[in-house]
């Protein structure tokens, strides 16, 4: 049966200017219109909403919320007296507890403190932990058992952990390193019904600690680099029932470690130097659980960062995206059963790539065409939307973007033609019949669901009236594919899904 694309694919991409710069599946939320950057930061997913800080180019960096793929809405201009309500030196300054959004902000009078937004009323100050306008700088928010845990730097204690139960004032619950230097540094995470954090003491340095909420008692989990040296755990990530992190030791440098609830163990030594019996740090980061393995970015003995995988018993190089240099992979997330990450393949700059676990990784979309980089950051999934910060190099600056693999089958309003795609599902050849109202140069290509081209037609002249094209698909594996019809300027006129039987 014929598939009448002009009927079923009647969704409109939008204005012609957007269509010329945006690739299928992507959406640009230009919070700061014009050439100004909205510079979205601290993206947080909760339910069907995304919370983030951004700027509209006029009022500085303020809290926003967006539902699904809708329009971002300013929660409130928290600081009308200065440029921004929050700085850029935070790790995780926001969380949702009991349906309420808690975040760090500066109203211009109290310094950077803890605020709450219930979704209806104006945000309110939870508590001013410092005095005289100083900032306690709440950060590293973690929610466990309907309580909010965070770090704050208050008066003579330095950075410590605090707890807020939603009613009483926040309570300091750690001081393992007495004095103004503080004892809690870096990210915190909930695991095994406890709060894990990086604790600092004079006798052990910075090591992995845990706090039992039942007793509010902190204990050291492991002295990974024994003595006063610090292993300085980082990238604390819970995956498949275990806590993974990077840590530094004198003999092995910074490598991948795991804590299974009883023992902390070093798993890898990617950059081990057999000649010196010492290791250069591989500095693993961006951990994700995919295909029953831990995927991560790490530096090899040549000093280049590539994608590695650990499981079930050892680590191995998964792939080199850039065969001639450092691919710099980071921002690993699992989305639509694929590993999505930012990397540089040596030809397209830093863009989004997808890996299905079998085939070579494929670029999803080159938002900055050619060797320029869009630098996607803070990949955060909300339903079917994958949000991130990036620059698409079209004079709109750094914006909030989203990618949705289901956002195919869209028709540009500029394309005034009748198109038939058949048969669909297809077994052998895919036929494309177009009835054009003018002569036009068009390019037709077909890609797999990860974005890898399996048919990449050249730009060809098509005449007014009826035109026919066939694309061989008989030797392709069964599955979903996407076709694209674009013009000589690169504007995508029409996309849609094709099922290969």
Q: Cα dist. 319→288, 328, 405, 449, 494 in Å?
A: 15, 12, 24, 20, 33
Distances (CA, A) of 311 to 22, 248, 295, 304, 327: 38, 21, 9, 22, 22
Residue 214 pLDDT: 94
Task: Tell me if 142 sits within 8 A of 210, measured CB to CB.
Answer: no
* Whole-structure pTM value: 0.81
CA distance 497 to 449: 9
pLDDT at 237 (0 to 100): 98
Residues in the chain predicted with pLDDT less than 70, given as ranges, are 1-24, 34-35, 272-279, 395-396, 407-410
List the structure tokens of 398. 């750094």
| 8 Å CB contact between 438 and 37 | no
CA dist., res. 120 & res. 108, Å (int)? 23
Q: Which helix (H) or strand (E) holds 454?
A: strand 453-456
Q: Return the structure tokens found at 216.
A: 């509010």
The answer to whether the beta carbons of residues 206 and 199 sit under 8 Å apart is yes
CATH class of 76-232: mainly beta
Q: Residue 155 has what pLDDT?
A: 82
Calpha distance 270→432 (Å, rounded): 50
Q: Report the pLDDT value the prediction gives residue 415, as an integer from 0 to 100.
A: 82
CATH for 417-500, options being 2.60.40.10, 1.20.1440.230, 2.60.200.30, 1.10.510.10: 2.60.40.10
Spell out the domain ranges in the chain: 76-232, 417-500
């Amino acid at each position: 049966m014929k598939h009448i694309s002009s009927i079923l694919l009647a969704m409109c991409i939008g204005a012609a200017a957007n269509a010329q710069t945006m690739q299928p599946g992507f959406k640009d939320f230009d919070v700061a219109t014009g050439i100004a950057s909205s510079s979205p930061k601290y993206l947080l997913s909760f339910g069907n909403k995304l919370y983030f800080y951004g700027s509209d180019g006029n009022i500085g960096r303020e809290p926003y919320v967006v539902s699904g793929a809708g329009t971002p809405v300013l929660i409130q201009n928290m600081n009308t007296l200065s440029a921004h309500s929050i700085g850029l030196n935070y790790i995780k300054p926001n969380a949702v507890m009991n349906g309420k959004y808690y975040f760090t902000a500066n109203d211009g009078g109290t310094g950077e403190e803890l605020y709450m937004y219930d979704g209806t009323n104006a945000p309110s100050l939870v508590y001013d932990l410092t005095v005289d306008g100083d900032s306690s700088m709440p950060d590293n928010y973690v929610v466990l058992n309907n309580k909010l845990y965070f770090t704050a730097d208050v008066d003579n204690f330095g950075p410590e952990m605090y707890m807020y139960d939603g009613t009483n004032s926040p309570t300091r619950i750690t001081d393992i390193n007495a004095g103004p230097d503080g004892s809690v540094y870096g990210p915190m995470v909930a695991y095994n019904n406890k709060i894990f954090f990086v604790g600092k003491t004079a006798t052990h340095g910075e090591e992995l600690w845990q706090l039992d909420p039942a007793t509010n008692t902190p204990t050291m989990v492991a002295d990974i680099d024994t003595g006063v040296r610090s292993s300085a755990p980082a990238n604390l990530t819970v995956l498949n029932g275990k806590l993974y992190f990077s840590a530094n030791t004198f003999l092995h440098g910074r490598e991948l470690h795991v804590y299974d609830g009883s023992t902390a163990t070093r798993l890898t030594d990617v950059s081990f130097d057999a000649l010196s019996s010492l290791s250069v740090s591989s500095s693993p980061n961006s951990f994700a659980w995919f295909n029953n393995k831990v995927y991560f970015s790490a530096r090899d003995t040549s000093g280049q960062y590539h994608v590695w995988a650990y499981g079930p018993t050892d680590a191995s190089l998964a792939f080199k995206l850039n065969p001639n240099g450092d691919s710099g992979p980071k921002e690993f997330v699992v989305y639509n059963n694929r590993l999505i990450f930012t990397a540089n393949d040596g030809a397209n700059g830093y863009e989004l790539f997808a890996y299905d676990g079998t085939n070579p990784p494929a670029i999803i979309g080159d938002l900055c065409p050619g060797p320029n980089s869009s630098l996607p950051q803070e990949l955060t999934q909300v339903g079917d939307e994958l949000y991130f910060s990036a620059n698409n190099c079209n004079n709109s600056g750094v914006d909030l973007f989203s990618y949705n693999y289901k956002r195919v089958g869209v028709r540009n309003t500029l394309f005034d033609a009748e198109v038939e795609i058949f048969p669909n599902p297809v077994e052998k050849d895919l036929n494309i019949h177009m009835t054009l109202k003018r002569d036009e140069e068009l390019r037709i290509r077909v890609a797999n669901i990860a974005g890898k081209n399996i048919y990449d037609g050249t730009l060809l002249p098509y005449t007014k009236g009826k035109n026919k094209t066939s694309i061989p698909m008989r030797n392709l594996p069964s599955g979903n594919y996407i076709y694209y019809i674009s013009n000589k300027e690169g504007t995508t006129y029409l996309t849609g899904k094709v099922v290969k039987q």
